[in-house]
Chain A
């Protein structure tokens, strides 16, 4: 479904973020990408979203070169992907409810559908009672959960999760990872970028380890080894 082909990302002569990265991710797979901070995990996810261009190589999504998608077609492509951003990227002037509903508005869902599904999504992440709060009124963990609800609400084909448990306590971390697993079981491909050892080891799924911009390990049922 997603294929990285000889990807390199060079910011300047002395900063090489990624070097000769090649791997593929099948439909319905759950893949963890692990590595130290600055290893290039986020850059890889950004490339899938066509947010960043590789200096060399290609990224394919369903055999389509992601970076050749015309600018006007990008919204349609991106609607197939749900993103949990490291810095949440919530809309500051929208309530938790509106942040989640925005995605359904974008995809053209009916008002009825929005009214039904948004509260459910907020319930799932345990924030039903926070629906009318603005992001500034929420804690870091709560914001992260709103971001998760927003990424899941439209049942995307692929879910990109960049450190989705970074600000969560162990209880909520477990909940969220269970949620991601459930979503994966229902058919969504999940790509999780994290440096949470416990999370990766408990999952028992495929692990791709990146170090100094290169893939140093790719194991079917891997463990966090760095």
Chain B
């Protein structure tokens, strides 16, 4: 058993090494397929980043009356935080609101002057609430209307922003959907190309396979080396692809950062390195082995 396994591995390796042109062709196609899978992985990462970025911008602000005590607002914050639909609640005190306002509008001299004219802090303390999903804001708004601290609330800006919130979530879910459809189409193309390349490679060996059968080799003894060859092709193609992507990442990183602020391709690559490697190995080895196993079947009927 172990001797057979050793011989199968040896024969697989020899086939890989000796079928120069054919090996090069299958490895190249596999590099392209794995690159596509890797590209789709990055693409999903970028889509995720865009969608999260959009959704991060969505929240509902609850403005409290200026005479509310901070403790009361913090109790309200705690109560809101317990609602399962709520992802995050942030307390912005009157001073904090003023700081943010001045920071944001420091170049607007007219506004700054007007603020000085007023003399006191005109802004209200608030709670910024983020929900997990767009359709949860409605329920959240209803909750606030009946909440025990409702008498402290000055206004909730949900109704003004309702349409925009809905739109943002619609756009982001569309982006996701397009991403998934795009990935599926490209994935199917890659699989078909890889499968047919390997099928042609095995077609090239069909006479040999028939001879192996005629001299008494068992199906596993014949199939084994082809599967091993597939594993080697997958591993080599993965190594080549990961090197190519590391290089591309390194050079494209700064350019992409200007297009996609806050998204570092290289950091994404490093952070997901092991997942990516696993994805590439599974794509490369899996595709090669499954294609080989399917393609070889009909030549084993001798």
- A106-129 Cβ-contact flags toward B at 8 Å (1 or 0): 111011000000000000000000
Chain A residues with Cβ below 8 Å from B7 are: 105
Asked whether B14 lies within 8 Å of A103 as measured between CB atoms, the reply is: no
Q: Separation in Å of the B285 CB from the closest CB of chain A?
A: 22
- B212-225 Cβ-contact flags toward A at 8 Å (1 or 0): 11111111010000
Asked whether B214 lies within 8 Å of A93 as measured between CB atoms, the reply is: no
Chain B residues with Cβ below 8 Å from A3 are: none
Asked whether B14 lies within 8 Å of A78 as measured between CB atoms, the reply is: no
What total count of A-B pairs have CB within 8 Å? 57
Q: Does A23 contact B (CB under 8 A)?
A: no
Asked whether B302 lies within 8 Å of A51 as measured between CB atoms, the reply is: yes
Please report which residues of chain B, range 1-29, place their CB below 8 angstroms from some CB of chain A when the two chains form the complex: 3-4, 7, 14-15, 18-19
Asked whether B214 lies within 8 Å of A89 as measured between CB atoms, the reply is: yes
Chain B residues with Cβ below 8 Å from A91 are: 208, 211-212
Asked whether A106 lies within 8 Å of B216 as measured between CB atoms, the reply is: yes
Query: Bound complex: CA of A50 vs CA of B89, how far in Å?
Result: 78
Chain A residues with Cβ below 8 Å from B219 are: 72, 75
Chain A residues with Cβ below 8 Å from B221 are: 105-106
Asked whether A92 lies within 8 Å of B208 as measured between CB atoms, the reply is: yes
Asked whether A110 lies within 8 Å of B3 as measured between CB atoms, the reply is: yes
Q: Does A56 contact B (CB under 8 A)?
A: no
Q: Does A195 contact B (CB under 8 A)?
A: no
Q: Does B207 contact A (CB under 8 A)?
A: yes
Please report which residues of chain B, range 281-302, place their CB below 8 angstroms from some CB of chain A when the two chains form the complex: 301-302
Q: Residue on A with the closest CB to B8?
A: A105
Query: Bound complex: CA of A9 vs CA of B15, how far in Å?
Result: 37
B residues lining the A interface (CB < 8 Å): 3-4, 7, 14-15, 18-19, 207-208, 211-219, 221, 301-302
Q: Does A79 contact B (CB under 8 A)?
A: yes
Q: Separation in Å of the B189 CB from the closest CB of chain A?
A: 31
- A89-100 Cβ-contact flags toward B at 8 Å (1 or 0): 101111000100
A residues lining the B interface (CB < 8 Å): 49, 51, 71-72, 74-79, 81, 83, 85, 89, 91-94, 98, 102-103, 105-108, 110-111, 150
Query: Bound complex: CA of A83 vs CA of B302, how far in Å?
Result: 15
Q: Separation in Å of the A195 CB from the closest CB of chain B?
A: 23
Known: A105-B7, A108-B3. A75 touches B216 (CB 8 A): yes
Asked whether B217 lies within 8 Å of A89 as measured between CB atoms, the reply is: no
Asked whether A74 lies within 8 Å of B213 as measured between CB atoms, the reply is: yes
Asked whether B214 lies within 8 Å of A79 as measured between CB atoms, the reply is: no
Chain A residues with Cβ below 8 Å from B3 are: 108, 110-111
Asked whether A83 lies within 8 Å of B214 as measured between CB atoms, the reply is: yes
Chain A residues with Cβ below 8 Å from B215 are: 78-79, 83, 102-103, 106, 150
Chain B residues with Cβ below 8 Å from A51 are: 214, 302
Q: Residue on A with the closest CB to B1?
A: A108
Chain B residues with Cβ below 8 Å from A103 are: 215-216
Query: Bound complex: CA of A91 vs CA of B214, how far in Å?
Result: 12
Query: Bound complex: CA of A112 vs CA of B295, how far in Å?
Result: 35
Q: Separation in Å of the A163 CB from the closest CB of chain B?
A: 16
Q: Separation in Å of the A89 CB from the closest CB of chain B?
A: 4
Chain A residues with Cβ below 8 Å from B217 are: 75, 102, 106
Query: Bound complex: CA of A108 vs CA of B208, how far in Å?
Result: 20
Q: Separation in Å of the B210 CB from the closest CB of chain A?
A: 8
Asked whether A75 lies within 8 Å of B208 as measured between CB atoms, the reply is: no
- Kindly name the residue among A92, A93, A98 whose own CB sees the greatest number of chain B CB atoms within 10 A: A93
Query: Bound complex: CA of A150 vs CA of B215, how far in Å?
Result: 9
Known: A94-B14, A108-B3, A111-B3. A89 touches B211 (CB 8 A): yes
Asked whether B211 lies within 8 Å of A76 as measured between CB atoms, the reply is: no
Query: Bound complex: CA of A89 vs CA of B301, how far in Å?
Result: 17
Chain B residues with Cβ below 8 Å from A108 are: 3-4
5 new A-B contacts, CB < 8 A, other than A74-B213, A78-B214, A103-B215, are A71-B301, A79-B215, A93-B208, A103-B216, A110-B3
Q: Residue on A with the closest CB to B215?
A: A103
Q: Residue on B with the closest CB to A89?
A: B211
Q: List 17 A-B residue pairs with CB atoms under 8 Å apart, sorted by A's residue number.
A: A51-B214, A71-B301, A72-B219, A75-B217, A75-B219, A78-B213, A78-B216, A81-B216, A89-B214, A91-B211, A91-B212, A102-B215, A105-B7, A106-B216, A107-B216, A111-B3, A150-B215
Q: Separation in Å of the B207 CB from the closest CB of chain A?
A: 7
- Kindly name the residue among A51, A77, A83, A89 whose own CB sees the greatest number of chain B CB atoms within 10 A: A89
Query: Bound complex: CA of A89 vs CA of B211, how far in Å?
Result: 6
Query: Bound complex: CA of A72 vs CA of B301, how far in Å?
Result: 10
Query: Bound complex: CA of A107 vs CA of B219, how far in Å?
Result: 13
Chain B residues with Cβ below 8 Å from A49 are: 214
Query: Bound complex: CA of A94 vs CA of B211, how far in Å?
Result: 13
